[in-house]
Structures are given as structure tokens and as C-alpha cells.
Structure 1
Amino acid sequence: MESSGVISAIVIGTVIGTLGRLVLPGRQHIGVLWTITVGVAAAFVGSGVAGGLGVADAKGVGWIEWLIQTGLAAVGVTALERVNAHS
């Protein structure tokens, strides 16, 4: 992966992680770096899921792919927060 790909993955991951936190009620007690990490992972996994469902190559904005990625980020943030709460 080129450096521009890594930078765009971090930017997209930040946006996806932030959206994942915003759809959850209340305050999440995880840091910014964890939010970015969860967002990057959700973006990669969500792209794979969208590709598997055949919705990744939409013309224009891939709203369904973004929804999948955001949902996965919300699940990831919730899981991470629960793990951190019990440790």
C-alpha cells in the first residue's frame, strides 16, 4: 500500500469511527486513537462486506457501504468500551 493509501485509510477510518460513535447514545469512554483504529478496521471490513453483497461498486456516493461501515464501527466502539469497562 502506498503512503497516499495509508493516509486516506486513516482519514476515512477517522470519519467512520467518529460516525460510529455519534450513532451511539451517551458518552463513550475510549480515546481518539482507539476510535481511529476501530474506524479503519470497520472501513476495511465494511468494504469487504459491501463487495460480498454486490453494493460496493455503486455509481456516485456508496451510501449503503457507508452505512455498513458506520454500523460496524458502532459495534466495534461498543465492544471496545465494554472490554475497557471490565478491565
Structure 2
Amino acid sequence: MTITGLVTALLVGVTIGLLGRLIIPGRREAPMWLTVAVGVVAALAGTIVARLAGVDTHALNLLAVIIEVGLAGIAVVLVVATASSERSDST
């Protein structure tokens, strides 16, 4: 993974993590640091998946960014949905 790919994945992860808190309706049970961390880890995983799929990740590539955004978005939605359902069941 190059510096460009790493920086892109970090920016995508932080952005998706923050946007996920704003877009998903309902109470915000999951802490902000958790959604950002999950977004970053999933975006980095997206870079790895894109690389394994044969996408060039040495430069800024739209397909790699789309894969990163997709994985980060899914991961953030799952974490926020899981956090709110666990806490609401226990009360």
C-alpha cells in the first residue's frame, strides 16, 4: 500500500464515520470515536480488497475509492444499528 492509498483510505474512513452518525436516524448510542474507527478500518480493508481484485491502488483510483466507501458505509451502518439495538433491549 502506498502513501496515497493510505491517506485516501484514512480520509474516506473518517468522512464515512462522521457522515454515518449524521445520516442514520434515531438515537446516537455508538460513540463518535467508534464510528470513525470502524470507518477507517473498513476503508483500509477496502483498499486491500481492491488491491486483491487487481485494481491499481498506487494512485488515486475511482474504483478503489468506491470499494472503500462501500465497505466503510456498510461497516458504520452495522455498528450504529447494532449499538442502538443492544442498548435499547437492555433497558
TM bracket, shorter-chain basis: 0.5 to 0.7
- Of the two, which has the highest radius of gyration? 2
- TM-score relative to the length of structure 2: 0.63
Question: Is contact 2:16-2:76 (8 Å) kept?
Answer: no
> CA RMSD of the aligned region, Å?
3.1
Aligned counterparts of 1:15 and 1:68: Cα–Cα separation in 2: 14
1:4 aligns with: none
Question: Which residue in the other structure is 1:56 paired with?
Answer: 56
1:7-26 pair list within 5 angstroms: 8=7, 11-12=10-11, 13-18=13-18, 21=20, 26=24
State the Cα distance separating 1:58 from its structure 2 match.
Answer: 5.9
- Other-structure match for 1:86: 85
State the match for 1:71 in structure 2: 70
**Shift in CA distance, 85/39, structure 1 to aligned 2, threshold 3 Å:** same
Task: Give % identity.
Answer: 27
Deviations 1:12-64 (A, max 9, x none): 23134345x28x954362332122111211121101110011113365x2111
Letter in 1 for 2:43: A
Gaps of 5+ in 2: 1-6, 87-91
Q: Which runs of 5+ in 1 are unaligned?
A: 1-7
**TM-score normalised by length of structure 1:** 0.66
Query: How many matched pairs?
Result: 78
